[in-house]
Amino acid sequence: MAPAFLKELRRRSKASFRSSDNSSNETNGFGIPTPSSSTLNSNSGNGAATPPMLMNSNSASDLTTLPPPTRPAISTSASNRYSVSGMSGLGSPAPQSALPTSPYAPRIVSINDGQCVYQKVLSVQGVIADPSTQAWEGNLTVTRVDDAFPPINWPVCEGYFKALVYLLPGPNRLRFDFTSPKLSNNNTSNPIHSTIITIHMSPSLGAPPLQLVILLAKDSPATFDATPARIEKEGNGLETAIQKFRMAAYLWQAYTAEQMCRNRLGRRVFRTEEEWVTGTSNYRDRKNGTMRSEAKIHVVRCDKTVAEIRDVELAQQNPHGKRRGDLFGIAMEAMRNYFRPSPGQTQYCSVMFLDAHWDKEINLIRGHAAVGGGGSGIALAIFGSHALHSYPSSFEEVVPAFTDCTPTDTDYVANDCNESGSSWEAANIGIGAHLHEVGHLFTCPHEEHGIMLRDYVTLGRSFITREPYSTRTKSKGGLVLMKDECVWHRLDLLRFRSHPCFALPFDGQRHPDDSVQAWPVEKDSVIVTAASGVAFLEIFAEGDTECHYWLEFGDGNGNGPIQKQIPLTIQQLRSRLPEKHKTSKLKVCIKSRAGGNHDIPDFAQLVSKASKIKLPNGRPAFRSSKLGLSEMEGSTPEEVVFHSTIEQTKLLTQVRVYHGNSLDGIEFVYEDSTTQLFGKRGGTPGGSEFNLDTRRGEVITGFYVRSGVWIDGIAIMTSLGRKSPVYGQANGGSGHTLIPPIGYSIAGVTGSCANWVDGFGILITR
């Protein structure tokens, strides 16, 4: 029999349990208030509203009620914001302390505790208390709990802060400490106004990297323009250039990932190739020789001399020059020789010409060009080093770099376009304009505003809370909030979402077919199809050079299901435009989820009678939008309506394709030996034959076409799921899949031919 005192203890335990179980939602078993889900902030439990564009609120269902503990309750809030009672010298309690939360603990509004990101450097923004009632000035210290990166200080201005955080793969436990001369327990060894969060970092190793390249002339001294004071302080050699360029790339990543998040597109961002080197992103690593995996800066020497590089591109800035574009060609050749991309592979390269030089005598930057674009196997952005002297080379230098009002001394360095009259403005233009060219590398055109216009002159606002005096605007500066920052345009971010460099680990296998097609059908409608899904389309009114109107479609990431077939009418598109454009000519550019593009130069013409034909049996048929430009000399239109479409008893048994390095012609052979020829019988004598299995009812259901200016190659697709080899150049141009929309079948082919086929489409009918 159990002793009496054990029975009494059991009875007390049960009573305590029943008491707790019957208590209200307001308190737990110890009378300590239990926060309700209606008042909890998803970030830190302080009750402040969370901007919907910045955060993904945690569901209240994630909060569970636990049985009362047998010892005082331990805080389980999403982030640990804590303080002590104000007794000087006590220092901060352990993270699991149940002491009251400090009202001055940093409140992070740009990311939730426990979230996952995919890049090394994270941009974090937040507030201290309520800035509208208490405009605190002070200092924010960001510390890794494991001390794997040194503490970095960031200013708090009028209650707002912005910080950059260096992340390592896996969980990163971070503490944010606020200190101010106006608060008690300030400047103690253990600050008491603190917030702790955990951020998980998972590098997106499945995406191709953006290669960072410093390009040197073959006789380059490997130095860049800087004032004597700068040279004495930090040097202007290759090692310093690498540190500064690396830090600029980290800023690009942090800024872009935050912009993607604000637009509800996930924290997508491009990655960089990395190497195991002595860390350069903080002073402690340099002093101690700490090894880290850092962004790799490729140092490449080209076959040109310094004199040739500095002379060749004067045309970029001189309208009377005769060699415009040569620096881009020099960089392109150097990148092909260095990276040697395999067939079908693309290397994405952001190149800095270190030998760019400010020539005061002619008032030009020599050896510099700001260009971005692509070629076969290389997507390229180039820029000069003339503003590199103003870049930060480490985390400790970010705020000083974007607040340094030192006047630009044009005896030694450039005042680019007279918009960088001070050091911080030079940093904005150098880092921002190079990012603009990286945008072109990632297929972005110029936009109506944002980085892809010239808003990058305020790029630094994303990393500081107080902007200094501007020589460009003659304004004294002041507090800069989220709304004052420059942005990537929404259309740029939609392009990034579909770009292979922005793929995330959970995206799964990228769809191999990125093509988009537009099919005119009945009732003046167009059906848009894309095997990977239709992402968005841009609408250009007549005279527009930038896009002002667009339509977005579901993306399968919580923003609606992927749509692979979408009907469009001209009335639907014009309803998006202001009254002055209701009757103008419309150009429509359609983008697929896998990054493909299809342009319709004149939407009204596509749905007009010009796209419709009447078959001999009286049925209507429709011409698809055409691949190839049909602009070769002597190009003439051609069209073939299949005999088998008109006469059901006539069997198409074979397709004979004539080709060399491009498509010369296609011949359709029937059971009775009659044929129909589209194009010419050129290329390889006799052509290549593809037979259909008519015993099993096999028919042509589509074509896979490689095209650019003309038709490089073609493959036949059938109802049995078979696909022929690509006849012609299998890697020429870009790939397009021509399969009629649901409810339609192929009735023939259409296009044009000169010396070889330079335009191709198909006829469809119900």
The CA distance from 189 to 185, in Å, is 9
| Residue 266 backbone zone (phi > 0: left; psi -120 to 50: alpha; other: beta) | left
At 111, list the tokens. 């990311």
DSSP code, position 148: S
The CA distance from 597 to 593, in Å, is 10
Does the active-site annotation cover 437? Answer: yes
CA distances from residue 5 to 8, 19, 237, 475 in whole angstroms, order as listed: 5, 21, 81, 80
CA distances from residue 311 to 222, 225, 658 in whole angstroms, order as listed: 18, 17, 48
- Are 242 and 253 in contact, with CB atoms under 8 Å apart? no
DSSP code, position 164: E
- Are 609 and 552 in contact, with CB atoms under 8 Å apart? no
Encode 350-366: b = buried (16+ Cβ within 10 Å), e = exposed: bbbbbbbbbeeeeebbb
Type of residue numbered 406: T
Strand order in the sheet with 711-718: 727-728, 711-718, 700-707, 734-738
At 440, list the tokens. 């072109």
Pairing verdict, β 745-753 and 636-641: antiparallel
Alpha-carbon torsion (645, 647, 649, 652), positive or negative: negative
Pairing verdict, β 347-353 and 210-216: parallel
- Are 349 and 328 in contact, with CB atoms under 8 Å apart? no
Site of tokens 């993904």 = 56
- Are 553 and 570 in contact, with CB atoms under 8 Å apart? no
At 226, list the tokens. 């800087």
The CA distance from 19 to 22, in Å, is 5
The CA distance from 744 to 266, in Å, is 37
Chain centroid to Cα 386, Å, comes to 26
At 134, list the tokens. 């208490």
Which 3 state secondary structure label does DSSP give 396? Answer: helix
Bridge partners of residue 298, in order along the sequence? 213
**Residues in contact with 132: Cβ distance below 8 Å, sequence separation at least 6, in sequence order:** none
Find the catalytic residue in 258, 313, 425, 437.
437
The CA distance from 149 to 284, in Å, is 8
Encode 118-145: b = buried (16+ Cβ within 10 Å), e = exposed: bbbbbbbbbbbbebeeeebebbbbbbbe
Pairing verdict, β 193-201 and 160-166: unpaired
Which residue from 44, 42, 41, 12 is spatially nearest to 29, judged by alpha carbons?
A: 12
Type of residue numbered 393: S
- How deeply is 757 buried, as exposed, middle or buried, from its count of CB atoms within 10 A (0-12, 13-18, 19+)? buried
Site of tokens 């603009």 = 436
Type of residue numbered 297: I
- Are 266 and 260 in contact, with CB atoms under 8 Å apart? yes
Which residue from 713, 703, 726, 738 is spatially nearest to 515, judged by alpha carbons?
A: 738
Encode 200-233: b = buried (16+ Cβ within 10 Å), e = exposed: ebebbeebbbbbbbbbbbeebebbbbbbeebbee
Give the active site residues.
437
